[in-house]
Amino acid sequence: MPLFYKYLISYLALLIIPLLLIGLLVYQHYVAILKDEITSNHQRMLEQIQDSFDSKIKEMNKISAEIASKPELTPYQLKQNMYNAVKAKNLFLTYTSANIFIKEVFLYIKDQPYVYSGSSTYPTALFIDTFYRYENWSFEQFTKDMSELDRPVLRHSEPIASARLTDDRVLTYLVPLPLNAASPYGSVMFVIEEKTVRKMLQGLLDNSDGNTVILDEKGNRVVSLRDEAYLEQSGFHRQAERLPIGTSTGMLDGKEYAFSKVRSDDFNWTYITMLPIEQFMQRVGEVKSRALLSLGMVLVIGCALIYAMLHFNYHPLRRFLLFTGKQWGESYRNLNEVLHAVHKITEEKQMLGRALNDSRIAVHEHMLLALMTGRVTDPEPFLEKAGEAGIRFTKSGLFVVRLAVRYMENLPRQQQIGILDGMEAMMRDRFECYRVEGLEGPIVNFICAVGPEDGEWPREMKELHGAIRERYGIDVTVGAGNRRQDIRQLGKSFIEASTALDFRLLKGYNEVILYADIADQTNLGCNYPRQDIETMEVLIRQGDTESLTKVVRGILSFIESSAMPLHMVRCICYDMINCIVKETYRLKGTLETADESYPDVFSLTKFDTIQELADVIEVMCGQLCADIVRSQSESKSGGQKQEMLDYIQANYDDQQFSVQNMADHFAISASYLKRQFKEQTGKTITDFLNHYRMEQAKHLLRTTDMKLKDIVPRIGYFDVPSFIRKFKQAFKVTPGDYRKLYETKEHRSE
């Protein structure tokens, strides 16, 4: 008994002394570290919100610059052709759908009667008063602000009434067009719902009573997470100005708060969070309580265990040593020898388990690969071994599905694994299937099984395809082979699925392609568009971008409508590429370029669909044609203007006069002729022709007594009424009144 208490006291001392050291020395140190960590994390999250909000403002400035760079959205184009308003609508829809932060984008042009957006085109007079009714922004003030806007302005959160919005408060960001211009011709108006900004601010103070406020450079509130009464008090703004950058504490509305403050270097805005101090330090309090409780529990349990172990350890230990020595045929004199033997046996067991598991996985993958590639000759033994490896098909109809994910190899490895595992889980929710590894290329392969009653599996495959795209936001094409009842024929289904997947060259990405469909649609008797490809070479040399675009799109339409075999489609694509490359290097020596790699012909080979190839060809040809036209223009601009004017003056009386005939006379395209004439004279061909004809008509009216019906054909017009209408429109008087007016002036001079 004295020995028992001696050991008991010594073991209790060994337990209590470390606990006291932890409580007195380490406890306070780690609590302080936790406080600093909470403070720095809170500050970092606020800085992330500031960076995010600043980036949204910069992104809207970038969108404004893109809008200003669009030729079809210039004031002149919008005024001349309302079809450009439809283009603007599609462009704005792209901005709003790609950026959930922006609810609406509007384009305002000075002195024009419309406001353009992605949803509609609004009359300016009704835009503010009817469709978007700001509580504190009248139509007169709106017009004045838009007309005087010379720098970006963010209107603070304010009430609005509109059936087109889901929130009754918005922030409005106004950017002049062009940005930083001395005299902007218009402006872009971004409407941001307040709830979108508040959702951004919510993550910092989730499930708390705090608040987050954004103040502008003058200290006025831009937006806040919650509309509290103290935000309207002047004392709050003075206190916000006095707060240091970083985290601090103070009193607000009679309650102690923890404040975090950062300032934007780009816009000089201030971001402040306010959190009640008890909530801010809640985690520290929890850690303190748990630490003290843990220390107490360790002390109580440790003392009890020490006593129990001292009381009972001798006899159990002796029995254990005797038992293990008898079981393993050896003599163990202490516990360390037993533990060493147990550890050795455990390691051997783990190694054996890993080897067995690796072998099972390898056999599983090997059998699936053999099944997919058609290397099964005897079904019965194969199915028996497959069952042992965990491969079991309960349905008789087997087919292969191959999925091509676009740009999969560019994703991080961890994200790739997540997408593959997710797709496999979604496939197994709808089909009895196994994913097959070991094939070359970035293609995901599945062996699927369906029963005779599952006639709707193609529809389910399309629904699954849509679900994968929606969940992961990726471009994926699915190729599926035909069902096979005999597993020895599954290799044919694999070839069919591969062939169907290759047809994405024709059908594009994001399609479900069934081999049964493409086999019925293929037309082996298609004509080869060789003449169109030869026409491409001629149009490149002429610099006719407009006609060249039509030819390329025509070849694309011919391929899509002819259902030609895949090998013929590939031949056409490579012939088009060869045409561009040949003309590129033939013309390269005649063009002055600073870049030795001009043009980038290797970009022509980077395509997955014929639509992508057509887009690359159009860009490449447009660049070449523009350089050719520029080179020709520089060499001919001297005498070309006078030649064009001489031609019009010599042929103005021709009633069959046309721009195309004039272009044929100069052996150039009509689009190039119109562009050159406009650049060199400042007028269109039609405007200059009408002006010259009217001047000749005035001359004949003043100097001759010819009847009007004789004058009209002499100046190139068909009928008298049309001439009278155009004459009056140009000079505000009829031809007869003009002649009388001139005769009256001559009589007075005599």
Supply the pLDDT for residue 446.
92
Residue 105 or 602, more confident: 105
pLDDT in tens, 351-390: 766 765 666 677 778 888 888 887 888 888 888 888 877 8
CA distance 489 to 571: 31
Give pLDDT tens digits for 416-426. 888 889 988 99
> How confident is the model over 429-439, as pLDDT tens digits?
988 899 888 67
Strands 432-436 and 246-252: unpaired
Answer positive or negative: Cα dihedral of 58, 59, 62, 67. Answer: negative
Closest CA to 169 of 155, 159, 184: 159
β partners of residue 443? 404
Q: What are phi and psi of 399, to 5 degrees?
A: -150, 160
What are the pLDDT digits (tens) for 24-66?
A: 676 677 777 777 777 887 788 888 888 988 898 888 888 888 8
What the block records as the tokens of 119 is: 């949803």
Per-residue pLDDT for 638 more than 60? no
pLDDT at 591 over 50: no
C-beta separation of 543 from 630 below 8 A: no
Whether the per-residue pLDDT at 610 is higher than 70: the answer is no
- pLDDT for 598 equals 47
Give Cα separations from 623 to 599, 601, 626 (angstroms).
Answer: 9, 12, 5
User: Is the CB of residue 325 less than 8 Å from the CB of residue 332?
Assistant: yes
Q: Is the pLDDT of residue 738 over 60?
A: yes
Residue 511 Rama label (left phi>0; alpha psi -120 to 50; beta): beta
CB atoms within 10 A of CB 498: 18
CA 571 – CA 578 distance, rounded (Å)? 10
Alpha carbons 260 and 731: distance in angstroms, whole number: 72
From the list 225, 221, 215, 218, the residue with the least C-alpha distance to 262 is 215
pLDDT digits (tens, 9 = 90+) for 145-179: 988 888 899 999 899 998 888 888 999 999 998 88
pLDDT digits 0-9 by tens, 193-207: 988 888 888 766 766
* Cβ count within 10 A of residue 268: 11
Please give the structure tokens belonging to residue 667. Answer: 């052996």
C-alpha span between 517 and 497 (Å, rounded): 12
Q: Are 466 and 459 a contacting pair, CB within 8 Å?
A: no
Query: What does DSSP say about strands 476-480 and 512-514: parallel, antiparallel, or unpaired?
Result: parallel
The pLDDT score that the predictor gives to residue 597 is 45
